[in-house]
Amino acid sequence: MKFLSLRLWLVAGLVAALSVEQALANEGKLLATGGVSSIEGSGGGGLVPWATTATYAEKNQWGVTANANFADVDDFQLGVQSVNFSYDNRIEVSFAKQRLGLNTIGGALKQDIFGVKVRVLGDLIYGDLPQFSLGLQHKRNQSFALPAAVGAHDDTGTDIYASVAKAWLAGPFDRTWVANYTLRATKANQLGLLGFGGDKNNDYSYMSEASVAMFLNRHWLVGAEYRQKPDNLGFVREYDWRDVFVGWFPNKSVALVVAYVDLKSVAGLPDQTGAYASLQISF
Partner 1 sequence: MLSVKKALFGALLLLSVAPSSALSSELYQQLGKKAGIDQLMTTFVFAIAEDERVIEHFARVDIERFHQMISQHVCELVGGPCRYEGADMVEVHTGMAITRAEFNAIVENLIHAMEQEQVPLSAQNQLLAILAQFHGDIVGK
- Binding-site ranges for partner 1 (CB under 8 A): 28-31, 58-61, 89, 125-127, 166, 168-177, 179, 181, 208, 210, 212, 217-218, 224, 226, 228, 240, 242
Q: Which is nearer to partner 1, 31 or 258 (CB)?
A: 31
Q: Which is nearer to partner 1, 100 or 179 (CB)?
A: 179
Q: Which is nearer to partner 1, 30 or 277 (CB)?
A: 30
**Cβ 112 to partner 1 shortest distance, Å:** 31
**Cβ 171 to partner 1 shortest distance, Å:** 4
**Cβ 251 to partner 1 shortest distance, Å:** 12
- CA separation (Å) from 270 to 105, 192, 231? 13, 20, 16
**Cβ 161 to partner 1 shortest distance, Å:** 17
Q: Which is nearer to partner 1, 3 or 248 (CB)?
A: 248
C-alpha 95/C-alpha 86 separation (Å) is 12
Contact at 8 Å (CB) between 226 and 239? no
The helix/strand/coil state of 182 is: strand
Q: Which is nearer to partner 1, 42 or 176 (CB)?
A: 176
Instruction: Give one DSSP letter per residue of 214-283, joined into a string.
Output: EESSSSEEEEEEEE------SSS----EEEEEEEE-SSSSEEEEEEEEE---BTTB---EEEEEEEEEE-
4 dihedral zone (left: phi>0; alpha: psi -120 to 50; beta) = alpha
**CA pseudo-torsion sign 15, 21, 26, 28:** positive
**Cβ 176 to partner 1 shortest distance, Å:** 6
Amino acid identity for residue 7 in this structure: R
C-alpha 92/C-alpha 118 separation (Å) is 6
**Cβ 81 to partner 1 shortest distance, Å:** 29
Q: Which is nearer to partner 1, 12 or 169 (CB)?
A: 169
Contact at 8 Å (CB) between 64 and 85? yes
